[in-house]
Amino acid sequence: MSLPASSERVRVHTADHVNDRIHTETLARIERLAREPDDIDRRLQALDCEWDVERLLETNAASLTLLGLGMAIAGRRGWLALSVAVSGFLLQHGLQGWCPPLPVLRRMGVRTAREIEAERHALLMLRGLVGGPEVDVMTHATAAMGRAPRTGSHAVAHR
């Protein structure tokens, strides 16, 4: 059994339609910012505050583990099962990149660190291109995200 690469393990275990929706939403934000470049810095600041799926899983796992342990210490030993289950899920996620809460979080739009950084990189590239010579900023921004550019309304030229 081979394990997926760390950088791709969450995407591999996420339904294609969910990955596509997250990617499409990211491209739509970049396209809007190509037309409204004054908002790029604000979006970059928002990206600095965005929690990735790993951070959310780790924080929730630690919180639930502590809750289970605290309740067990308070005399409710059955709560130890929560700590054991959550630790098992976290181990499974660490090894395979999947655990039961992952599909729910991904459907909620929680992105990987790599997806967040791809948007940041695309916006930094876009910020450097806006105001320069006429270029197809969406082609450059999409390339920065590591995907082929989409056709139709996503091919936006900006001066």
Angstrom distance (rounded) from CA 104 to CA 119 = 22
Does residue 97 contact residue 13 with C-beta atoms inside 8 Å?
yes
Domain boundaries, the chain: 9-158
Q: What is the pLDDT at residue 134?
A: 53
pLDDT at 135: 55
Alpha carbon distance 82, 88 (integer Å): 10
What integer pLDDT is reported at residue 148 of this predicted model?
A: 41
pLDDT at 2: 75
Give CA–CA dist 121/104, Å, rounded.
27
Q: What was the pLDDT predicted at 15?
A: 96
Q: Phi and psi for 156 in degrees, rounded to 5?
A: -105, 125
pLDDT of residue 101: 95
Q: Which residue has the tokens 């809007």?
A: 32
Give residue for tokens 């959550």.
Answer: 86
pLDDT digits (tens, 9 = 90+) for 8-53: 899 999 999 999 999 999 999 999 999 999 999 999 999 999 999 9
**What is the distance between the alpha carbons of residues 113 and 90, in angstroms, rounded to a whole number?**
17
The pLDDT value recorded for residue 109 is 97
Surface-to-core class of residue 114, CB atoms within 10 Å of its CB (0-12 exposed, 13-18 middle, 19+ buried)? middle
Q: For residue 136, what is the enclosing H or E element?
A: strand 135-136
Residue 128: Cβ within 10 Å count:
11
Ranges of residues in the chain whose predicted pLDDT is under 50 = 148-159
Q: Which residue has the tokens 């081979």?
A: 2
